[in-house]
Amino acid sequence: MKSILTTLAVLGLSVSAFAGCGETTTSKGKLKSFDKDTKSIVIEADGKEVKTKVTAKTKNADDIEKLVGKNVTAVISKHGYAETVEKS
């Protein structure tokens, strides 16, 4: 009985450890710049500059350099990393 409870507790904790928070914001505006060295982008949206990082998991990460100067929609995680950057 102890081993069953222990196994269930371990499974429960491991599942919650891998769950993402899922909180995101969406920024729509003009992609002002992309810095290859720091892998960061700046989006000018509603008169404000939104700065975020691009990771290997960012959707369309390979095409971001081509989008500079164009209107984009970016989904940004709570942790400050772009999940997607798409032309809008």
For the chain, domain boundaries: 23-87
- What is the full per-residue pLDDT of the chain (88 aa) written as tens digits? 777 778 777 766 665 444 556 788 899 999 999 999 999 999 998 889 999 999 988 998 888 999 999 999 999 988 889 999 999 8
Residue with tokens 């990393």: 81
Q: What dotted CATH number matches 23-87?
A: 2.40.50.320
Task: State pTM to two decimals.
Answer: 0.72
Give pLDDT, residue 15: 57
Token digits for 49? 């500059």
DSSP the chain: -HHHHHHHHHHHHHHHHH-----EEEEEEEEEEEETTTTEEEEEETTEEEEEEEEEEEETGGGGGGGTTSEEEEEEETTSEEEEEEE-
